[in-house]
């Protein structure tokens, strides 16, 4: 259990890095392809990537506390 935190962080960081890189890449691609080498798609892509990574991380850390409720439809 103690290592779980460590594992979570590793996952998180790896994931974030990947997302970041992907966002960067997509941004660069978009920037190059569609937006005439402007920087704002790159940044946008980076931001997208980072945001996705952050969200994933948070989701991972929160996972033990999430309650899954079931809606019971009354007939």
Interface positions with other proteins (CB under 8 A): 1-2, 4-5, 54, 57-58, 61-62, 64-65
Distance (Å, whole) CA 55 – CA 57:
5
Distance (Å, whole) CA 26 – CA 23:
5
CB of 6 to other proteins, least distance (A): 9
CB of 51 to other proteins, least distance (A): 12
Instruction: Output the CA–CA distances (angstroms, integers) from residue 66 to 2, 19, 22, 72, in the order listed.
Output: 20, 24, 28, 19
**CB closer to other proteins, 5 vs 39:** 5
CB of 19 to other proteins, least distance (A): 14
């Amino acid at each position: 259990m103690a290592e779980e935190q460590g594992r979570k962080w590793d996952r998180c960081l790896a994931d974030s890095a990947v997302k970041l890189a992907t966002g960067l890449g997509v941004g660069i691609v978009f920037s190059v392809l569609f937006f005439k080498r402007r920087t704002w798609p790159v940044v946008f892509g980076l931001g997208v990537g980072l945001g996705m990574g952050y969200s994933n991380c948070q989701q991972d850390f929160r996972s033990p506390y999430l309650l899954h409720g079931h809606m019971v439809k009354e007939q």
